[in-house]
Structure 1
């Protein structure tokens, strides 16, 4: 394989990776904690887009429990966003997708 062909393939992969990154910005995942008492929505980049609390999640005498639930739900949403990103990169770019996914 010549260097020009390799460069052309790399440019194609880079363009495809940019398209996947744009697509991920519009995809949403939901992380939850406490059996759904707290839900956190994130986009495919892991940016938090929204938080929903059920009234029974709020106990003014135990705010620490709510803080813990929020932290778990945020971490769950971010993990799901990371997994989604890896899956999309792998699906669209094959083996090189995992390598490029770590760059974004």
Structure 2
């Protein structure tokens, strides 16, 4: 394969990766904990956008439980965002997409 063709392929992959990254910023995932007592919405980059708490999650005598639920819901949302990113990159770029997805 000649170097010019390789460079064109690399540029094409880079453009596709940038397009996927832009789309991921518009996509959302929802992580939850406690059977839906706590929900955390994140974009496809894992940036938290919203937190919803059901009234039953609030117990002033057990704030530690709420903290734990929040942590689990955040981690769930971030994992879902990571999985979404890998899926989208892989779909657009094949095997190289998974490697690129891990870079963002």
Q: TM-score range by the shorter chain?
A: over 0.9
The normalised TM-score by structure 1 is 0.98
Structure 1: gaps of 5 or more residues: none
Partner in structure 2 of residue 5 of structure 1:
5
Q: CA RMSD in A?
A: 0.5
Partner in structure 2 of residue 50 of structure 1:
50
* Residues 48-102 of structure 1: CA deviation (Å, up to 9, x unaligned): 0000000000000000000000000000000000000000000011111011112
Partner in structure 1 of residue 36 of structure 2:
36
Structure 2: gaps of 5 or more residues: none
1:95 maps onto 2:95 in alignment: yes
The normalised TM-score by structure 2 is 0.98
Q: Distance in 2 between matches of 1:78 and 1:37?
A: 18
Question: How many residues were matched structurally?
Answer: 104
Q: Distance in 2 between matches of 1:55 and 1:100?
A: 41
Q: Distance in 2 between matches of 1:64 and 1:78?
A: 21
1:74 maps onto 2:74 in alignment: yes
Partner in structure 2 of residue 16 of structure 1:
16
